[in-house]
Amino acid sequence: MSPQPLDSVKGFAVTFRQLFKKPITQQYPEYKRPVYPRFRGRHRLHRHENGLEKCVGCSLCAAACPADCIRVVAEENTPDNRVSPGERYARIYEINMSRCIFCGYCELACPFDAITLGNEYEISEYSRDDLIYTKDMLLAEPIKKVPVADRDLYDTPIPYYQDHS
């Protein structure tokens, strides 16, 4: 027996009020909520405007990685096979997405801004092997699966390189 029967009525009043509000549930696969511009999702490797890869295979990302999920094997550029400017390029660049914790240290460590974390978070696979992203996958322009929030709507700081250059 409830000592204060009025209290339960009060509680149900809250529930009742919600009935007339719009639901805040988002129907996820149908509706994708925009992510913040600096959201850390799937990595991307970048190219220079002339088509050469920015990555020189220095392995600093691998050194910075706390999850030890990056593997880089470098090789020397030759006149016949020029992949990046300079002497060295990454012959193999792999990220094991099943181990990655999306901390973004690789991005910070990169001396050439070759790797950045993108906006995608839909990277589940049926097999663990498919979660090892190769260089070709990381270099490819990813299909836009996730809408990015309008930069103006959010109070995000201006990137340092736009501020200081």
Partner 1 sequence: MSATETVTLTIDGVAVEVPKGTGLVEAALAAGIEIPVFCYEPRLGPAVGACRMCLCQIEPGPPKPQAACTLTAQDGMVVRTALTSAVAADAQNATLEFILVNHPLDCPVCDKGGECPLQDLTFRYGPGNTRMTFPKRTFEKPIPVSPLIALDRERCILCYRCTRFSEGVAEDGQLVAVDRGAGTMIATFGDEPYRAPFSGNVIELCPVGALTSTTYRFEARPWEILDVPTVCGMCPVGCNVNATTREGNVKRILSRNHPEVDDGWLCDKGRFSYAHLHAEDRVCDPILRVRRRGFEEVSWERALDEAERLLREANGRIVTALSGSETIEEAYALGKLLRRGLGAHTAFFPEESSDALDAFRVPLSAIRDADVVAVLGDAPVVERAPIVELWIKEARRRGARVLYELDEEAVRGAETAILVWCGPGGHGGATVAVLAQRLGLSGAFYIPETANGRGVCDAWSCSDDAESASPDPIGLLIVSGDEAAANPDVRALAEKAERVLVISMFQGLAAGWADLVLPGTSYLERDGTYINLEGRVQRLRRTVIPPVPDELAWISKLAERFDVELSPYPALVFEEVSAIAFGGIPFGEIGERSPLPAATGASAQIELGEADGPAVDGGLRLVRYRPLFSGPAVERVHELDFQRPQPEAELSEEDARSLGVRNGEEITIRSNGTSVRLRARLSRELRPGVVRVSDDFAGELKPAVEISK
Site residues (CB under 8 A) for partner 1?
A: 56-60, 62-63, 74-76, 86-88, 111-112
Pick the closer one to partner 1 by CB: 60 or 100. 60
Using the minimum distance from each CB to partner 1, give the nearer residue, 75 or 120.
75
Name the minimum Å distance from CB 83 to partner 1: 12
DSSP conformation letters of the chain: --S-HHHHHHHHHHHHHHTTSPP----TTTS-PPBPTT---SEEE-B-TTS-BS-----HHHHH-TT--EEEEEEE--SSS--SSSSEEEEEEEEETTT-----HHHHH-TT--EEE-S------SSSGGGEE-HHHHHS-----SPBPPGGGS-PPPPHHHHH-
CB 101 → partner 1: shortest distance, Å? Answer: 19
C-beta closer to partner 1: residue 34 or 86: 86
Query: Cβ closer to partner 1: 90 or 100?
Result: 90
